[in-house]
Amino acid sequence: MLEFRYDTQLLIEGENLDEDKINEYFTNNFKGDCLLAVGDEELIKIHFHTNEPWKVLEYCSQIGEIYDIVIEDCRYGYCHSALTCGSESIHNRNVIFRRSTMDQARILLHLKMRPDTPQKYEYILVEDIKGNAGDFIYVAPWTQFYNLGDRKDIPISYSNNITMCNIDLDCTTFFNVKKSDQYRLSDFCFEDLNIRAKKGQFDKDIVDRFVVKNVKVNSQEVR
For domain 1-73, the question of CATH label 3.30.70.260 is answered with yes
| Per-residue pLDDT, 114 | 79
Please tell me which residue, 72 or 99, carries the higher pLDDT value.
Answer: 99
Q: Are strands 6-13 and 32-39 parallel, antiparallel or unpaired?
A: unpaired
In the chain, the N- to C-terminal Cα span, in Å, equals: 40
Candidates 80, 88, 87, 130; CA nearest to 109 is 80
Q: pLDDT of 131-188, one tens digit each?
A: 999 999 999 987 766 666 676 777 889 999 999 999 999 999 999 999 999 999 999 9
According to DSSP, the residues that pair with 84 across neighbouring strands are 110
Q: pLDDT of 104-129, one tens digit each?
A: 999 999 998 877 778 899 999 999 99
Helix orientation angle between 19-29 and 53-63, rounded to the nearest 10 degrees: 150
| Per-residue pLDDT, 72 | 86
- How far apart are the C-alpha atoms of 155 and 149, rounded to whole Å? 12
| Per-residue pLDDT, 148 | 65
| Per-residue pLDDT, 6 | 82
Q: Are strands 91-113 and 32-39 parallel, antiparallel or unpaired?
A: unpaired
Residue 5 in this model has a pLDDT that exceeds 90 = no
Residue 17 in this model has a pLDDT that exceeds 90 = yes
Q: Are strands 43-50 and 183-199 parallel, antiparallel or unpaired?
A: unpaired
Extended beta strands in 82-156, E state: 83-85, 91-113, 120-141
Task: Give span(s): CATH 3.30.70.260, the chain.
Answer: 1-73
Residues 96 and 128: beta-carbon distance below 8 Å: no
Candidates 90, 96, 126, 94; CA nearest to 108 is 126
- How far apart are the C-alpha atoms of 152 and 170, rounded to whole Å? 42
Question: pTM for this one?
Answer: 0.84
- How far apart are the C-alpha atoms of 115 and 120, rounded to whole Å? 12
State the amino acid at position 132 in one-letter form: N
Q: What is the mean pLDDT of residues 74-93?
A: 84
Q: pLDDT of 22-37, one tens digit each?
A: 999 999 999 999 999 9
